[in-house]
């Protein structure tokens, strides 16, 4: 009880101290607001532009969710394909690494050409940025199945499907959840980057567009508010994945047993 | 405990070859002439002919090896660490292929059922005990009602009926090992291979499981091959003990143990038991120096 209270209060205290210092320093040194706005100014901006930020969060959140879902589904399918044979893995794995190294800002214009500006191009950008950790972790999980259990399944001449669904995929769930955790944060980053290039500026602009326009108007306070909202989105997605992982693994996985 | 083999409570639908303990049966293998009750076996015999196994690394695990194991025998394998016992068991299970020689199962049923128990339980952590015990039946395509019934029956046999709905991580090490044993027994194997199954357990639990295993064998009559490093466990359980030399494995000693069929803790202090243990020890030492 005391421990869990401390767990909540300690970071909260650190935050209060940090914000206080920030507020004090910007005011005391008279830092111009367009350079570094004090927290109070960020808060005011957030309040006055609340509807803009809300619409932005919804637009960005939707694109990030679609990209993340694509990553989860296609990433797992790809990992299963790669795990199916050494030959397939050797042939294709280098190109999945390419997915991770490709600078998404550079190919975002291409995504606009292919998918048109707006949600689709942005979601694909989120997908490209976030799919690799899902593939890599799931593949590692599928590959690290207990060899004795593989023997057991062989002894009873289990079919390919039984092996996949009753042994390999369940064994890979801890690694899969790890991959999804990483992917959840990356999906939001991929969405913002995608919006910089491919987002709409009219209609319901995403947070990336809000960041861009407030930067052009030197409204640094609103920029901070938008960035914080985007971080909140990433955090929310991460927390949901974490919760899902805990629920899935509660019963059996050792790493979930440690507090 | 040694009388603790409970009778199975349900009618067995897959009574392939029911092993009623029938003292009047006359087909008795000669090696069980030493005062053991005779009984019909469902086990299968194994014949290894010039079996050899070496690995790409240049390690020769099994030198050309000839060995015949009679149906329904309880055989203990002993030998120095790394001599090739696990390799031999995997070869017999068909999980590995010999480079030379052949392994045949004379006189066994057309469709052999065999089971393997590893040193550690190796359960599926995401499945309940019942579903773990039923796994082999599930993989061989047996319907849910039947496999549940059979898994429950075998859990009852190993004394785990109460734990059927628990998850493996909620069990003690000894209980997990019993689930592993139940999983192996659920298909009613003709051949049961155990690779140091109880080595990681405390002495009391191990003796308890030894008793259960021996009772199950007496009731069912399958062939049992049991790898162990513990001399007293080998003498206590087996009717025949084979001692291998250090790598590559050759047979140093092949003893029929002259001990009564009913074994309980009091047998451990009898001169006959101690003599067997001493003989196995001497063979091990010989094999180590070979
Ligand atoms: N797949 C393999 N590839 C290469 N060498 C192997 C392989 N499997 C076993 N060996 C080697 O074969 C030898 C026999 O191994 P094995 O596991 O059969 O010994 P063991 O008698 O079971 O030993 P222990 O009592 O310690 O379990 C060892 O030297 C081992 O390193
Ligand atoms: Mg071994």
ipTM: 0.79
Centre of ligand 1 from the C-alpha of residue B52, in Å: 14
Give the nearest ligand 1 atom to B90 CA: 18
Q: Which structural domains are found in chain A, ordered by start? A: 55-252 (1.10.3720.10)
What are the contacts of B232-236 at 24+ separation with CB within 8 A?
B232/B268, B232/B277, B233/B76, B233/B198, B233/B206, B234/B76, B234/B78, B234/B280, B235/B76, B235/B259, B235/B273, B235/B276, B235/B277, B235/B280, B236/B210, B236/B263, B236/B267, B236/B268, B236/B273
pLDDT(B26) > 50:
no
Question: Domain for residue B9, yes or no?
Answer: no
A53-84, pLDDT tens digit by residue? 999 999 999 999 999 999 999 999 999 999 98
What is the residue-averaged pLDDT of chain A? 88
Nearest-by-Cβ selection for B139 from A162, A170, A252: A162
Do B216 and B256 lie in a common domain?
Answer: yes
Please judge whether B139 and A253 are an interchain contact, meaning their C-beta atoms are less than 8 angstroms apart: no
User: In the prediction, which pLDDT does B110 show?
Assistant: 55
* Domain membership flag for residue B202: no
Residue at B193 is within a domain: no
Find the mean pLDDT for residues A217-224: 90
Residue B108 within any structural domain of the chain: no
**Given B95, B120, B138, which is nearest A155 (Cβ)?**
B95
Residue B136 domain flag? yes
Kindly identify which residue of chain B lies nearest to residue A158, measuring between CA atoms.
B139
Residue among B135, B180, B183, B197 with most chain A CBs within 10 A, to mutate: B135
Quick check: is B17 in a domain? no
Q: Are B249 and B61 in contact (CB under 8 A)?
A: yes
* Co-location of B218 and B283 in the same domain: yes
Whether B201 maps to a domain, the answer reads no
Query: Total domain count for chain B?
Result: 2
Q: Are residues B184 and B211 in the same domain?
A: no
Within a domain: B104: no
Domain extent for B46: 41-83+207-227+236-290
Does A252 contact B169 at a Cβ distance shorter than 8 Å?
Answer: yes
What percent of chain B clears pLDDT 90, i.e. is strictly above it?
27
**Which chain B positions have a beta carbon within 8 Å of A174's beta carbon?**
none
Q: Please give the number of the atom of ligand 1 that sits closest to the Cα of B96.
A: 1
What is the per-residue pLDDT for B109?
Answer: 59
Helix segments in B53-172, DSSP class H: 85-93, 129-139, 144-157
Q: Is the Cβ pair B167, A251 closer than 8 Å? A: yes
On the question of pLDDT at B290 being above 70, the answer is no
The last residue of a domain, from among B127, B157, B188: B188
Strand partners, B243: B78, B253
């Amino acid at each position: 009880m005391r421990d869990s209270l401390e767990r909540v209060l300690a970071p909260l205290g650190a935050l209060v101290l940090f914000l206080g210092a920030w507020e004090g320093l910007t005011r005391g040194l008279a830092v111009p607001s367009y350079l570094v706005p004090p927290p109070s100014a960020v808060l005011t901006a957030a309040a006055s532009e609340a509807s803009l930020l809300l619409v932005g969060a919804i637009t960005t959140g939707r694109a990030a969710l679609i990209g993340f879902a694509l990553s989860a589904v296609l990433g797992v399918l790809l990992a299963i394909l790669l795990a199916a044979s050494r030959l397939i893995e050797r042939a294709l794995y280098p190109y999945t690494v390419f997915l991770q190294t490709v600078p998404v800002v550079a190919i975002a214009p291409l995504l606009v050409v292919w998918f048109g500006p707006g949600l689709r191009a942005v979601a694909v950008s989120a997908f490209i940025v976030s799919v690799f950790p899902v593939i890599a972790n799931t593949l590692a999980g599928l590959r690290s199945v207990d060899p004795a259990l593989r023997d057991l399944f062989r002894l009873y001449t289990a079919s390919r499907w039984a092996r996949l669904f009753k042994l390999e995929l369940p064994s890979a769930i801890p690694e899969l959840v790890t991959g999804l955790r990483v992917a959840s944060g990356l999906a939001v980053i991929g969405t913002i980057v995608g919006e910089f290039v491919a987002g709409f500026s009219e209609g319901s602009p995403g947070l990336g567009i809000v960041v861009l326009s407030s930067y052009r108007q030197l409204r640094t306070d609103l920029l901070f508010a938008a960035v914080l909202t985007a971080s909140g989105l990433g955090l929310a997605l991460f927390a949901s994945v974490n919760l899902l992982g805990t629920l899935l693994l509660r019963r059996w996985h050792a790493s979930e047993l440690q507090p | 405990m040694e009388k603790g083999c409970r009778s199975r409570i349900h009618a067995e639908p897959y009574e392939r070859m029911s092993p009623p303990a029938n003292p009047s049966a006359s087909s008795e293998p000669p090696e069980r002439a030493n005062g053991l009750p005779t009984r019909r076996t469902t086990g299968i015999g194994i014949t290894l002919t010039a079996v050899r196994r070496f690995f790409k690394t240049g390690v020769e695990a099994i030198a050309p090896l000839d060995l015949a194991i009679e149906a329904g025998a309880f055989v203990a394998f002993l030998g120095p660490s790394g001599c090739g016992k696990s390799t031999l068991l995997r070869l017999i299970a068909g999980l590995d292929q010999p480079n030379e020689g052949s392994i045949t199962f004379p006189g066994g049923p057309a469709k052999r059922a065999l089971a393997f128990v590893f040193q550690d339980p190796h359960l599926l952590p995401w499945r309940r005990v019942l579903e773990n015990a039923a796994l082999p039946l599930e993989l061989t395509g047996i319907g849910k009602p039947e496999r549940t019934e059979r898994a429950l029956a075998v859990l009852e046999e190993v004394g785990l009926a109460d734990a059927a709905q628990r998850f493996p991580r909620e069990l003690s090490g000894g209980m997990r090992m019993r689930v592993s044993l139940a999983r192996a027994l659920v298909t009613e194997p003709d051949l049961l291979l155990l690779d140091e199954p109880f080595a990681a357990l405390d002495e009391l639990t191990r003796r308890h499981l030894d008793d259960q295993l021996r009772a199950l064998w007496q009731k069912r009559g399958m062939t049992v091959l049991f790898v162990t490093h513990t001399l007293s466990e080998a003498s206590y359980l087996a009717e025949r003990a084979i001692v291998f030399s250090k790598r590559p494995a050759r047979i140093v000693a092949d003893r029929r143990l002259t001990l009564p069929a009913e074994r309980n803790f009091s047998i451990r202090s009898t001169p006959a038991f101690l003599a067997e243990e001493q003989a196995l020890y001497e063979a091990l030492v010989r094999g180590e120096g070979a």
